[in-house]
Chains A and B, each alone.
Chain A
Amino acid sequence: EAGVTQFPSHSVIEKGQTVTLRCDPISGHDNLYWYRRVMGKEIKFLLHFVKESKQDESGMPNNRFLAERTGGTYSTLKVQPAELEDSGVYFCASSHLTSGRYTGELFFGEGSRLTVL
């Protein structure tokens, strides 16, 4: 079974440019999350999709960030226009919808490193 895949692995852009990150979750996982780790700090929640619906987007920093999950499969996270403070590693994670016992476990991708110059 393929794991969570993210593309690109590393992106270097100039301030003011646009970048789109893509995440393909594990097949059949309805939960999809975006997280970000900046400068060795904690991994911070950005948002949570259940299928194609945004369940919780309270972690999105501002309206320069736009996440979509059309059709409830892969997801994209667009940053437009990018600022210096957006640099970091963006992780995508997925999990099954659970019925009964809650496990809490999320499966993470390898991350997309974004460098804004």
Chain B
Amino acid sequence: DQQVKQNSPSLSVQEGRISILNCDYTNSMFDYFLWYKKYPAEGPTFLISISSIKDKNEDGRFTVFLNKSAKHLSLHIVPSQPGDSAVYFCAASARRGETSGSRLTFGEGTQLTVNP
């Protein structure tokens, strides 16, 4: 039972255009969402996150949108750059009021290719 789904295994965009990566989840207990970027032979690195009490969080070229009623989030990258080419993972956690940390549930990832 996959609770976080990224239905697009790959996405190709032109440099300078917008990249939109999508993610759906099924567990209504999830209350914190993160995006990670992964280059080949490296570990995932944190990109941006959003709490369920918000619907948008922006950090430079990266914006994450959360639609709780649809259980859907998306990552927008504007403008896209060739260095953004990587696998992007959506992840979610159910904090349940914990401060000690809690497990992340990941999607399968989307390979983004930004063409010069």
Q: Do A and B interact? A: yes
Chain A residues packing against B (C-beta within 8 Å): 4, 30-31, 33, 35, 40-45, 48, 50, 55-56, 59, 91, 93, 95, 97-100, 102-111
Contact of A102 among B43, B46, B95, B107 (CB under 8 A): B95
Question: Which residues of chain A are within 8 angstroms of B4 by Cβ–Cβ distance?
Answer: 42
Structural contact, A109 and B2, CB atoms closer than 8 A: no
Structural contact, B104 and A45, CB atoms closer than 8 A: yes
Question: How many whole Å from A55's CB to the nearest CB in chain B?
Answer: 7
Q: How many A-B residue pairs have CB under 8 A?
A: 75
Knowing A42-B108, A91-B43 are in contact, say whether A104-B95 is a contact too (CB < 8 A).
yes
B69 at the interface (CB under 8 A from A): no
Q: Which size class do B's interface residues fall under?
A: 20 to 34
B21 at the interface (CB under 8 A from A): no
Structural contact, A48 and B101, CB atoms closer than 8 A: yes
Structural contact, B104 and A104, CB atoms closer than 8 A: yes
Structural contact, A42 and B42, CB atoms closer than 8 A: no
Having A98-B100, A104-B95, one finds 17 other A-B pairs with CB under 8 Å, namely A31-B101, A42-B89, A43-B91, A50-B101, A91-B43, A97-B100, A98-B99, A98-B101, A102-B95, A103-B49, A104-B34, A105-B46, A105-B49, A106-B104, A107-B46, A108-B44, A108-B45
Structural contact, A97 and B103, CB atoms closer than 8 A: no
Question: Which residues of chain B are within 8 angstroms of A59 by Cβ–Cβ distance?
Answer: 103
Question: Which residues of chain B are within 8 angstroms of A100 by Cβ–Cβ distance?
Answer: 99
Question: Which residues of chain B are within 8 angstroms of A56 by Cβ–Cβ distance?
Answer: 103
Question: How many whole Å from B43's CB to the nearest CB in chain A?
Answer: 3
Question: Which residues of chain B are within 8 angstroms of A40 by Cβ–Cβ distance?
Answer: 108-109
